[in-house]
Amino acid sequence: MIITNNNIELLESSFPKYFKDESIIEKIKNNPYTNYYLVTKNGVCLAFINYDLIYERAELSQIEVLKEYQRQGIASKLLEFFIEDCKNKQIKNITLEVKIDNVKAINLYKKYGFKQVAIRKKYYNGIDGILMEKVL
């Protein structure tokens, strides 16, 4: 498994539903704060992480793993990579939002020291979101 940076074509082919909107591709190409990293194996993108580093803070936007590769520790590896990148860049805190019913993701984030700090009512098309934070 290899973690690589910003291979847009591989991202689009592996996760087409996430990259239909051209503005997302433009953000990857042109926003200096946006980071996309992929997990690849034998030229196939298995997963990706998207986060923004803005001065002393970071915001995790998304971790996605192809269904057939879930429950193999890939999301954990990506989260570890992200946290280490934040530490190396002297980031002070990390925030993220997660659907209140996404128990797997919530447990993953708690495992890495994220704490619930607020509930965002109807944040995800009528479903509440949890704002989580990790102070570094």
Give tens-digit pLDDT for 6-24: 677 787 788 887 777 776 7
CA atoms within 13 A on the CB side of 14: 21
Q: From start to end of 1-136, where are the E strands?
A: 2-5, 34-41, 44-54, 57-65, 93-99, 115-124, 127-135
Question: What digits encode the pLDDT tens for the residues 24-71?
Answer: 777 777 788 989 899 988 888 899 999 999 999 999 999 999 999 999
Tokens 């797997």, residue located: 104
On whether the CB atoms of residues 128 and 97 are closer than 8 A, the answer is: no
Nearest-angstrom CA–CA distance, 12 and 120: 30
- pLDDT at 1 (0 to 100): 62
